[in-house]
Structure formats: structure tokens, C-alpha cells
Amino acid sequence: MEYSIYHRLFWDTDKNNLDISGHKRFIIERVLQFGMPNDIKWLLSIYSEKDIIDVVKKSKSIDKKTANFWAIHYGIDKDEVLCLTRPLMHELFY
């Protein structure tokens, strides 16, 4: 993983324990939510669009704005995006 991406997006993880295949969902979620255009290019060079679409559909941790953007980008029906159909945990308590 490139140093600049790691430093900006994965500041809270141990670089030696971050596995591109084993932590695919976590990495994709973090880059989609906080990444810059170059980070997205990197993401697309590592993972397939199918992998990314699967994460957009099933993620419980990306925010609604991010999920909506990527659903529109990939032409995913909003009813298929879990975080757009379920309330976020903090919304259940407030």
C-alpha cells in the first residue's frame, strides 16, 4: 500500500497487520468514504468494480451521503444499499 494512502486513510491501523485481501471490506469502505481522487484510482487498481459494488450494497459503516454517491455512480438501486434502507445506529438512540 502506498505510504500517502496509508498515512492519510489508515492512521489508526498497524500497517504490518493490514492485509489487502483479508481486510478488503474495511479498506474499500475507508477509501470510498474518505479518499481523494488518486486514492480511488488506487482502489480501482487493486479491487474489481464488483468488489466495490458489493461493499457499497452491504456496508453498515459508510455514511448515507457516501453510499448515495457511489450508488448513483454505479447505477445501484437505492433499495439494494443496506445503509440507505436501515437507520444508522446513532439514529436509533436519538
pLDDT in tens, 34-61: 999 999 999 999 999 999 999 999 999 9
Burial of 59 (0-12, 13-18, 19+ CB in 10 A): buried
The contacts of residue 74 (CB under 8 Å, 6+ apart) are 49, 52, 53, 56
Q: Evaluate whether 70 touches 32 at the Cβ level (below 8 Å).
A: yes
What the block records as the C-alpha cell of 66 is 457516501
Q: How confident is the model at residue 6 (pLDDT cuts 50, 70, 90)?
A: confident
CA–CA dist 84, 80 (Å, integer)? 8
Higher pLDDT, 7 or 61: 61
What the block records as the C-alpha cell of 24 is 478488503
Q: Evaluate whether 83 touches 59 at the Cβ level (below 8 Å).
A: yes
Does the pTM surpass 0.75? The reply is yes
**pLDDT computed for residue 4 by the predictor:** 76
